[in-house]
Structure 1
Amino acid sequence: MKAIVTLIFVLFIGFAAQAQENTAEVKVETAAKEIVTETAEENKVARLYRFKNSRIKKELSFKTKKSASKLA
């Protein structure tokens, strides 16, 4: 009985979804913009680290509680 009611409910929802009116597609107007290729050069300072990629290695070497070993 439960299976029959479920099947009727699913079919009812399917028919109701197909009975909806389709709306016409709305066209969107595009706006053209120019690309600026000139950039203003500024004095940039590069930071020097003692070891290459030290900040990246520090961020990737984190440990979580689950990664800690447990004694059995």
Structure 2
Amino acid sequence: MKTIVTIIFIIFLSFTAQAQNTINDVKVDTIEMSIVKEVTIKETSNQKMEVARLYKYKNSKIKKALNFITKANKPKMA
């Protein structure tokens, strides 16, 4: 009985899905654009050079400031 009701329910759902009015005629407005053949490149002579600093020595001030250790990080004896 359960299988017959399930099959009838599936058939009913398939018929209702096919009976829906779907509109597939969607028109899209297209835009035509021309190709630009002239390309101008403007070079600027005021280019700024930025330099990243690398510290050669292990004990530099910045590396010491970045590698700080708090008291909570130290291991405790149990």
TM-score, normalising length: structure 1: 0.42
TM-score, normalising length: structure 2: 0.40
